[in-house]
Amino acid sequence: MRTLERFYLHGLRRRWLAPLCAIACLMPAGATAQMSLLPPACANLNGEALDKCVRDITAPQIVPKFEFIEPPPPDPSATANCLRVNLADREYCIWRNEIVLACRNRAKHPDFGTCFANYIGNVARPGPANCAREKPDARAACTERNAVFTKCLEEPLSYFLCLANKGRLPERQIRP
């Protein structure tokens, strides 16, 4: 096998090496500088002179100006992560998520808002949370939740957005 490989490589070398040498010998000296990545004015320089030449020739790059893009408004019809809500809201969260998922079926329910309003009335609303059962680091969030949960229940679709914003609904909302 080694002889075959050597023969094959030797054949390739002989077949391509001669034409490449002929091309290199026929090219004028100036053409080699043109083939390199260096600009022609810097072809014969090296070291500090080459560095200065390249820096002087290179045009300054235009830096694009980044503009602030406003984040998309929160979607009140998005499902909530029920593992991250207060214990008093877990059951309500699960029912709300199931209703949201059922009402997204446009073939069955063409109007999301009407569908949600019809079904959410059958779900037991959450009451005040017992903050003594919460972990010590979550007690402050629990007392905040108790202060605003009745106001947030006025808009059941945005209930968890309202709780997250401490009793205020975000100004920009998508109405499904």
- 31 pLDDT exceeds 80? no
pLDDT digits (tens, 9 = 90+) for 61-97: 777 888 888 888 888 888 989 998 888 889 999 999 9
Residue 41, amino acid: A
Provide the angle, in degrees to the nearest 10, between the axes of the packed helices 112-120 and 90-103.
140
pTM of the predicted protein model: 0.56
Give the separation between CA 159 and CA 161, rounded to whole angstroms. Answer: 6
Per-residue pLDDT band for 174 (boundaries 50, 70, 90) equals very low
Per the CB < 8 A criterion, the answer to whether 95 and 80 are in contact is no
Residue-range domain boundaries for the chain: 2-55, 87-164
Q: Compute the half-sphere exposure of residue 64: CA atoms within 13 Å on the CB side of its CA.
A: 3
Neighbouring residues of 130: CB distance < 8 A, sequence distance ≥ 6: 88
Per-residue pLDDT band for 100 (boundaries 50, 70, 90) equals very high
Selection from 35-44, 110-119, 129-138 with the highest mean pLDDT: 110-119
pLDDT digits (tens, 9 = 90+) for 129-157: 888 887 888 888 888 888 888 888 888 88
Give the separation between CA 172 and CA 5, rounded to whole angstroms. Answer: 71
